[in-house]
């Protein structure tokens, strides 16, 4: 069964998460340093993991408007769409996911300074899980 890939796009790093085969649960996958190797790795992951949907977190402002960070993510999403024209690429509201990821790791006893790479994966997991949950609601 096809899987979904979640992406938390950041200035320094991108966190990736992957859904399970049933499309119910999101799991942290890996962290990529931002740069020119990101797109080839995303393309490779979509093939390795039989991905049919990519969910990219869209960092809207708290009032719902889009600032410079959201514009960068929209540009990135367009680059992904061009590289993977048959792939479904979804922009998903990610307000507060990085803060929630930091809080979750802190509650698990993880030091934020030592968890930067993991924070990005957990944020990607939260973005993807939120989207997966919305899909299961639509199926009911």
Structural domains in the chain, CATH included, are: 3-139 (3.30.420.140)
Q: What is the pLDDT of residues 65-122, one digit of tens each?
A: 898 999 999 999 999 999 999 999 999 998 766 666 667 666 766 665 666 668 889 8
Q: Percent of the chain scored above 70 by pLDDT?
A: 82
26 DSSP β-pair partners = 19
d(CA 77, CA 75): 5
Quickly count helices (H) and strands (E) in the chain.
4, 5
The predicted structure's pLDDT at residue 122: 86
Tokens linked to 92:
């998903």
Give the model's confidence band at 137: pLDDT under 50 very low, under 70 low, under 90 confident, else very high. low
**What mean pLDDT, rounded, does the chain reach?**
88
The predicted structure's pLDDT at residue 65: 86
CB 85 within 8 A of CB 45: no
């Amino acid at each position: 069964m096809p899987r979904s890939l979640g992406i938390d796009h950041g200035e320094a790093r991108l966190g990736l998460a992957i859904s399970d085969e049933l499309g119910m649960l999101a799991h942290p996958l890996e962290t990529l340093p931002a740069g020119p190797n990101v797109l080839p790795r995303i393309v490779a992951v979509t093939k390795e993991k039989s991905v049919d949907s990519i969910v990219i977190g869209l960092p809207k402002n708290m009032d719902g408007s889009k600032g410079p960070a959201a514009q960068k993510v929209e540009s990135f999403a367009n680059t992904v769409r061009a590289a993977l024209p048959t792939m479904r690429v979804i922009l998903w509201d990610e307000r507060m996911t990085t803060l929630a990821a930091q809080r979750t790791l802190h509650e698990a006893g993880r030091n934020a300074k030592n968890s930067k790479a993991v924070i990005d994966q957990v944020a990607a997991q939260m973005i993807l899980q939120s989207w997966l949950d919305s899909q299961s609601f639509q199926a009911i």
